[in-house]
């Protein structure tokens, strides 16, 4: 139960950070993965020592890990965002537009200098 709650809150953090921006989402995901890998290995070892078979321990880990996905979906659903993917696409398109505009400005400035 505690592990499920822990994974659910991690999912909330990941979902919320992707709503802020794509880079924030990636960094949060990596930080949680680096935290969770040794945590889950330790939980698996504890389950084995307490009498679970390997398959039962793996199933228990998968069930508790799935609450992370529910946490991420909850964060997105409660945010009021109509589309997290649309926000990421718009952010990416904005960066491309800024690059094109600044490149065009640089190109025009160089052409003016060459004609003088």
pLDDT in tens, 13-63: 998 888 888 888 899 999 998 988 898 899 899 999 999 999 999 999 899
| CB under 8 A, 24+ apart: contacts of 87-95 | 87/19, 88/18, 88/22, 91/21, 91/22, 92/22
81-113 in b/e form (b: 16+ CB < 10 A) is eeebeebeeeeeeeeeeeeeeeeeeeeeeeeee
Which is higher by pLDDT, 102 or 50? 50
Q: Picking from 9-13, 53-57, 67-71, 106-110, which range would have the lowest pLDDT averaged per residue?
A: 106-110
Mean pLDDT of the residues in the chain: 78
pTM of the model: 0.63
């Amino acid at each position: 139960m505690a592990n499920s709650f822990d994974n659910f809150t991690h999912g909330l953090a990941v979902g919320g950070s992707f709503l802020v921006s794509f880079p924030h989402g990636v960094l949060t995901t990596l930080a949680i993965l680096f935290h969770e890998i040794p945590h889950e290995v330790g939980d698996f070892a504890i389950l084995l020592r307490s009498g679970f078979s390997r398959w039962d321990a793996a199933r228990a880990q998968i069930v508790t890990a799935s609450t992370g996905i529910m946490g991420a979906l909850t964060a997105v659903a409660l945010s009021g965002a109509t589309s997290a993917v649309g926000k990421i696409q718009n952010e990416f398109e904005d960066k491309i537009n800024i690059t094109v505009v600044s490149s065009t400005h640089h190109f025009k400035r160089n052409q003016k200098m060459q004609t003088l």
